[in-house]
Chains A and B, each alone.
Chain A
Amino acid sequence: MMENNIKHHLTDDILIGYAAGTLPEAFNLMVAAHLSLCDTCRAQAESFDAVGGEILDTAPATDVMLEPGSFAATMALIAGGPVDEIRAPRVPDSILPGPLQDYVGGDLADVQWRGIGMGVKQAILPTSRDASARLLFIPAGAAMPDHGHKGTEMTMVLQGAFQDEDDYFARGDVEVADSDMHHTPVADIHEDCICLAVSDAPLEFQGLLPKIVQRFARI
């Protein structure tokens, strides 16, 4: 389900990394979820694919030799038939874009939420450990704990909205934060907010109590 009002997009370095296949899995999941909602970034991502195609096409062929019999081996693979790809069916028009449904193993009702205090809940998604991805549930009007960042963190709204000191983020909008940023996002009062958050470093909460929560909650 495409959204037409997205104002906060993914950055080019992330989209290049997605095209090149060099991002951690959690970041790839963020990009795939955002592209499901945003044709502007989908077109940008596909044009970065085109850059990859051009570089592949013009690479010097003399650098690499194929094994003798390579073509015959490939024809034998072809004769063996295509590899079946089995993918669980996706629910259309869901709060969760298709790629997120794949990681949840179902729809929003199937998310395994765990409370982390103040009504905030999270569900960690199974990705490779070089970065983390989780769904966050923030009650309408509630604030997220103030936290600083190490590395890169991206947060995309799936339901409701949140605002920080500078901006307002609604469905499909992505906030990209780096290590310089300290902020206090607050969920919009009209609706509970559900977000996808990915990070390539653990979040650092300020103050002792949240640190303990952090240890148990794996964030």
Chain B
Amino acid sequence: MNANDGKRMLWVDHMYRIRDDQDQQAFAELFAHFAPRVKGFLINSGADGSLAEECAQEVLATCWHKAHMFDPARASVATWIFTIARNRKIDVLRKQRRPEPEDLGWGPEEDPDQADVMALQQESEQLGRAIAELPANQRELIEKAYFGDLSHSEIAEQTGLPLGTIKSRIRLALERLRHAMK
């Protein structure tokens, strides 16, 4: 069992409260969980303590400002925060632009179907459990690929990640988005 099982829908609810009510209590809980982890991610990527602290604060402030862009039918809250932290890392640590693919419209659909949200969040949970159950050496390599600075040729052997269901779910969400734009 993963300590975060069942928490994902709670985080989604927190994001709604931040978006709709500017709820500081919900934000404080989100901050307490994610801010130290984002800071750790940045330190592992080569930032010193004070730069990592500054960036972690900026990443969490971005979560507040961009709460309306979060689409729970397409990503877990942890995934969404990870992508914001990753982009900040490229911007500040590597001093590069991050080229982004073409947008699929402006943010999430008006009201994502609750069943789609549940399904995506549950599959994130299954993914988390599957990663936790990987052999220790494989899991370590994956952590290094994301948190260290393993080059792409060094991670060329890292296939076999358990992505099956989550990938189909994301694919479905993309198709819905494209359909909604027509």
Contact of A56 among B2, B82, B90 (CB under 8 A): B82
Q: At the interface, yes or no: B101 with Cβ under 8 Å from chain A?
A: yes
- Shortest C-beta distance, B160 to chain A (Å), equals 9
Q: At the interface, yes or no: A189 with Cβ under 8 Å from chain B?
A: no
Considering the chains assembled together, what is the distance between the CA atoms of A25 and B98 in angstroms? 7
- What is the size, in residues, of chain B's interface with A at 8 Å between Cβ atoms? 81
Considering the chains assembled together, what is the distance between the CA atoms of A9 and B89 in angstroms? 27
In the complex with contacts A66-B53, A71-B31, A22-B174 CB distance below 8 A: no
Q: Which residue of B lies closest to A52 (CB)?
A: B82
Q: At the interface, yes or no: B48 with Cβ under 8 Å from chain A?
A: no
Q: At the interface, yes or no: A165 with Cβ under 8 Å from chain B?
A: no
Describe A's contact surface by its main secondary structure.
helix
- What is the size, in residues, of chain A's interface with B at 8 Å between Cβ atoms? 64
Q: Which residue of A lies closest to B164 (CB)?
A: A47
- Shortest C-beta distance, B87 to chain A (Å), equals 7
Is the CB–CB distance between A66 and B36 below 8 Å? yes
Interface centre among B100, B102, B124, B153 (most CB of A within 10 A): B102
Q: Which residue of B lies closest to A81 (CB)?
A: B65
16 intermolecular pairs with C-beta atoms under 8 Å apart: A16-B145, A46-B74, A49-B75, A50-B127, A53-B79, A55-B146, A61-B36, A64-B36, A64-B40, A67-B53, A71-B32, A71-B35, A78-B65, A128-B94, A128-B95, A128-B96
Measuring CB to CB, which residues of chain B are less than 8 angstroms from any residue of chain A? Answer: 2-4, 24, 28, 31-41, 43, 45, 53, 56-58, 60-62, 64-66, 74-76, 78-83, 85-87, 89-90, 94-103, 124, 127-128, 131-132, 142-143, 145-147, 149-153, 155-156, 158-159, 161, 163, 166-168, 170-171, 174-175, 178
